[in-house]
């Protein structure tokens, strides 16, 4: 039976499904939703929209534009799921050691804290505040740009508390001057609180609190009195204090109830529905501190290509095992092969009818 010809499909027959438009939907600011989606802070999202990389229903978006759930928003031609309803973000606490930088792009290829962060689906980690390479202590990561903005924006004046060890000792007059204000290169600066914590020999510890995060501000305030800082550690940022069980180089995730309390402190919207029920194992695992592992990066060969190691049996990650030639091994020669025996005439007719 002849096979019938395949019918040609009409390209205009399959029309895209119409999205239900809610006439009562209240437009929300695009840069705010992009920040809630974890793509960056509000200021970063405004710059992203101004660069022309964001579109609404196929048209370039403008700064301050509003969107509703029926709109299709794309960033670099990729669709983005916008959280019109508030979702519970993720928050990580990290005890940063010295020797790591808080940056995703470093031309010197130094160790960065972002190499140790676990992968998160549909969002990205945002570092709340920075610590320089020689500073250790509390570092907070979140997937909410709104929450990060609430911590870092200068108008909110969120307190930062540090433990400082200096080479030398402050006098009563110097501590008073540090709380009243000192003129630095980029303007006046001062500590809100400074308390001596004792010390041994020439090294003395101080506990300081301030409400801004200018570059190397704590170090520069002490260096104004020719007292170099030999150790600097952040122990508190806003309502979050560095947990004692979080040792250097370890990481811990905040519990959903703790994240809700943090959102209420920041004055942000919280999810209206009940929290997801978790098993005892998930609760126990989330509450424990862990040591993160550095991500393995692919080895790049020539420019524009990524070199992958050879694999055996089609399985990735297992290199091919190459056998070493045995010593004094005799190579088989052609003369070692025996000539095929000639077939007998009686065997040629065997099996014929």
Asked if residue 285 belongs to a domain, the reply is no
Q: Do 73 and 145 reside in the same domain of the chain?
A: no
Smallest Cα–Cα separation from 203: which of 170, 162, 161, 236? 170
Q: Do 144 and 75 reside in the same domain of the chain?
A: no
The pLDDT value recorded for residue 350 is: 56
Residue 307: pLDDT over 50 = no
Give start and end residues of each alpha helix (H) in the chain: 30-36, 42-50, 145-152, 172-180, 217-223, 256-266, 280-287, 345-348
Which of 239, 270, 301 is the last residue in one of the domains? 270
- Which pLDDT band, with edges at 50, 70 and 90, does 301 fall under? very low
Asked if residue 253 belongs to a domain, the reply is yes
**3 compared with 248, residue with greater pLDDT:** 248
The pLDDT value recorded for residue 322 is: 55
Q: Characterize the bridge pairing of strands 240-241 and 66-67.
A: unpaired
What CATH number does residue 71 fall under?
3.10.290.10
Q: What is the dihedral of CA 120, 122, 125, 126, to 10 degrees?
A: -170
Asked if residue 228 belongs to a domain, the reply is yes
Which of 270, 295, 328 is the last residue in one of the domains? 270
Question: Bridge partners of 96?
Answer: 137
Number of domains in the chain: 2
What CATH number does residue 176 fall under?
3.30.2350.10
SS3 166: strand
- Which pLDDT band, with edges at 50, 70 and 90, does 314 fall under? very low
Ranking 97-101, 180-184, 278-282 by mean pLDDT, the lowest is 278-282
Q: What is the pLDDT of residues 95-144, one digit of tens each?
A: 999 999 998 888 888 889 998 888 887 778 999 988 999 999 999 999 98
Range of the domain at 165: 91-270
Angle between helices 256-266 and 145-152 (to 10 degrees): 50
Q: Do 107 and 40 reside in the same domain of the chain?
A: no
Q: Do 62 and 186 reside in the same domain of the chain?
A: no
- Which pLDDT band, with edges at 50, 70 and 90, does 236 fall under? very high
Average pLDDT value for residue range 160-176: 95
Residue 205: pLDDT over 70 = yes
Burial 179-216 (b: 16+ CB within 10 A, else e): eeebebeeeebbbeebeeeeeeeeebbbbbebeebeee
Q: Do 242 and 128 reside in the same domain of the chain?
A: yes
Q: What is the pLDDT of residues 152-161, one digit of tens each?
A: 999 999 999 9
Asked if residue 127 belongs to a domain, the reply is yes
Q: What is the pLDDT of residues 324-342, one digit of tens each?
A: 555 566 666 666 666 666 6
Q: Do 121 and 67 reside in the same domain of the chain?
A: no
Q: Do 253 and 214 reside in the same domain of the chain?
A: yes
Q: Do 96 and 74 reside in the same domain of the chain?
A: no
Residue 298 φ then ψ, to 5°: -70, 145
pTM for this prediction: 0.67
**128 compared with 311, residue with greater pLDDT:** 128
Q: What is the mean pLDDT of the chain?
A: 81
Q: What is the pLDDT of residues 17-73, one digit of tens each?
A: 555 566 667 888 898 888 877 787 788 889 999 999 999 999 999 998 999 888 999
Q: Do 182 and 253 reside in the same domain of the chain?
A: yes
Residue 272: pLDDT over 60 = yes
Q: Do 127 and 64 reside in the same domain of the chain?
A: no
Q: Do 72 and 133 reside in the same domain of the chain?
A: no
Asked if residue 9 belongs to a domain, the reply is no
Asked if residue 257 belongs to a domain, the reply is yes
Which of 270, 299, 329 is the last residue in one of the domains? 270
- Point out the catalytic residue in the list 22, 132, 186, 192: 132
The answer to whether 71 and 39 have CB atoms below 8 angstroms apart is: no
Tell me whether residue 115 is one of the annotated catalytic residues: no
Q: Do 171 and 41 reside in the same domain of the chain?
A: no
**263 compared with 84, residue with greater pLDDT:** 263
Asked if residue 213 belongs to a domain, the reply is yes
The pLDDT value recorded for residue 176 is: 95
Asked if residue 211 belongs to a domain, the reply is yes
């Amino acid at each position: 039976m002849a096979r019938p010809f395949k019918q040609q499909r009409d390209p205009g027959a399959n029309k895209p499904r119409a999205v239900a438009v809610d006439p009562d939907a209240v437009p929300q600011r695009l840069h705010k939703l992009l920040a809630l989606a974890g793509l960056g802070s509000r200021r970063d999202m405004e710059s992203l929209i101004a660069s022309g990389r964001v579109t609404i229903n196929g048209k370039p978006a403008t700064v301050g534009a509003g969107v509703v759930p029926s709109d299709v928003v794309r960033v670099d031609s990729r669709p983005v799921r916008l959280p019109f309803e508030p979702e519970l973000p993720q928050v990580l606490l990290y005890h940063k050691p010295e020797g790591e930088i808080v940056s995703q792009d470093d031309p010197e290829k130094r160790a960065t804290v972002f190499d140790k962060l676990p992968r998160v689906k549909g969002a990205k980690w945002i570092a709340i505040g920075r610590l320089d390479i020689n500073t250790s202590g509390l570092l907070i990561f979140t997937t909410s740009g709104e929450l990060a903005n609430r911590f870092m924006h200068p108008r909110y004046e969120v307190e930062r508390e540090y433990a400082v060890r200096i080479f030398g000792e402050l006098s009563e007059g110097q501590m008073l001057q540090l709380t009243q204000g000192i003129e630095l290169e980029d303007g006046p600066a001062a500590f809100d609180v400074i308390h001596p914590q004792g010390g041994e020999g020439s090294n003395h510890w101080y506990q300081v609190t301030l409400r801004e995060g200018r570059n190397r501000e704590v170090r520069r305030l002490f260096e104004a009195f020719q007292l170099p800082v030999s150790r600097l550690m952040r122990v508190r940022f806003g309502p979050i204090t560095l947990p004692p069980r979080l040792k250097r180089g370890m990481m811990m995730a905040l519990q959903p109830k703790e994240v809700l309390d943090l959102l209420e402190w920041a004055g942000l919207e919280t999810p209206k529905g009940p929290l997801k029920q978790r098993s005892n194992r998930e609760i126990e695992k989330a509450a424990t501190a862990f040591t993160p592992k550095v991500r393995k990066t692919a080895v790049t060969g020539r420019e524009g290509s990524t070199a992958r190691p050879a694999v055996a049996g089609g399985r990735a990650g297992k290199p091919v095992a190459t056998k070493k030639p045995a010593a004094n091994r005799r190579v088989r020669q052609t003369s070692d092969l025996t000539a095929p025996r000639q077939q007998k005439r009686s065997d040629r007719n065997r099996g014929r009818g």
